[in-house]
Structure 1
Amino acid sequence: MTALQRLADLGITLPTPMPPVATYVPVSITGDLVVVSGQLPAVDGKVAVTGKLGAGVSLEEGQHAARLCLINVLAQLNAALPGGLASIKKVVRLGGFIAATPDFIQHAVVMNGASDLAVAVFGDAGRHARSTIGVPSLPLDAAVEVEGMFSLV
């Protein structure tokens, strides 16, 4: 089963990728490595989950935001690669940035929203290295931002 078929089985349709909001490229390819710039939890071009974990954004909302971020990472990959998601051999690394209060300590649980989806879409090839970092704020008041590194077939 392909990644796109797994997404369809999960009821997920990839959106049109958001254009960059500053001076950077959304996807950079070098050799067999692909890096996707940080993606926000956007739906229809608007950030869907704003605020901070520990101050109004629940753990479940944070996990949903991380999942939306990964959906946007996958949309960037699908649009940028000639073979779309079929070009992905492995999810190498995901990086998560969680906007949170200083006393919030469940960053890893929030980021599982993205990691669990990566495994659901790519199977064992979706298991990855990961960093999850708490930050005081993110662009457009997003609650979560996720970036990714992938290897190509």
Structure 2
Amino acid sequence: MNHHDVHARLKELGIELPSAGAPAAAYVMSAQSGNTVYLSGHLAKRDGKVWAGKLGDALTTEDGRLAARAAAIDLLATLHTHVGDLNRVTRIVKLVSLVNSTPDFVEQHLVTNGASDLIADVFGEEGKHARSAFGVAQIPLGACVEIEMVVEVK
């Protein structure tokens, strides 16, 4: 259970959640089964536009880390829209990260830390999650990072 107010924590971190995005194809942004909420993959965005590029080419690991953090903030916006109150979150269960990267780029895990660190910072112990980070040849719209999340709520 959260022992702190998630909204107050976001404010402390200087994070204002954007409006939740809309699906770009034939899917929904979130779906719930029982107490588990599944969030669709969110593309990294910068200045309201898809953050395009390939890690190991035009983008550095630090760029990717910031992109993953931005995707995590958008995931929280979608989660907030779905559950109505982020204080209903009892556990961030799993995060899956796809990193658009060159074949020789091997720091997908460090890129994904941008999202993982933010989630843990916002939710504390309940934000520590299982995860996977993959390097992929391409992501829709040329995005550099796409992240999905599985969350338990009360």
Smaller-chain TM-score bracket: over 0.9
Query: Is structure 2 residue 55 aligned with structure 1 residue 53?
Result: yes
CA RMSD of aligned residues (A): 1.0
Q: Which residue number corresponds to residue 97 of structure 1?
A: 98
Give the Cα separation in 2 of the matches to 1:23 and 1:126.
29
1:86-131 superposed Cα distances (whole Å, 9 cap, x missing partner):
1110000000000000000000000000000010000000000001
Q: How does 1:49-88 map to 2 (within 5 A)?
A: 49-82=51-84, 84-88=85-89
Secondary structure, counterpart of 1:16 in structure 2: coil
Q: Which residue number corresponds to residue 3 of structure 1?
A: 6
* Structure 2 residue identity aligned to 1:109: L
**Aligned mate of 1:34, from 24, 32, 37:** 37
The answer (yes or no) to whether the contact 1:15–1:44 under 8 Å persists in 2 is no
The answer (yes or no) to whether the contact 1:18–1:45 under 8 Å persists in 2 is no
Give the Cα separation in 2 of the matches to 1:120 and 1:12.
12
Give the Cα separation in 2 of the matches to 1:98 and 1:43.
16
Q: How big is the shift at 1:44?
A: 5.3
Query: Is structure 2 residue 134 aligned with structure 1 residue 133?
Result: yes
Q: How big is the shift at 1:45?
A: 3.7
Q: Which residue number corresponds to residue 148 of structure 2?
A: 147
Percent of aligned positions with the same letter in both sequences? 42
Stretches of 4+ moved more than 6 A in 1?
A: none
TM-score by length of 2: 0.95
Give the Cα separation in 2 of the matches to 1:62 and 1:42.
11
The answer (yes or no) to whether the contact 1:91–1:149 under 8 Å persists in 2 is yes
Gaps of 5+ in 2: none
Query: Is structure 2 residue 15 aligned with structure 1 residue 12?
Result: yes
Give the Cα separation in 1 of the matches to 2:138 and 2:12.
34
Give the Cα separation in 2 of the matches to 1:143 and 1:44.
14
* Structure 1 residue identity aligned to 2:82: A
TM-score by length of 1: 0.95
Give the Cα separation in 2 of the matches to 1:3 and 1:60.
26
* Structure 2 residue identity aligned to 1:7: L
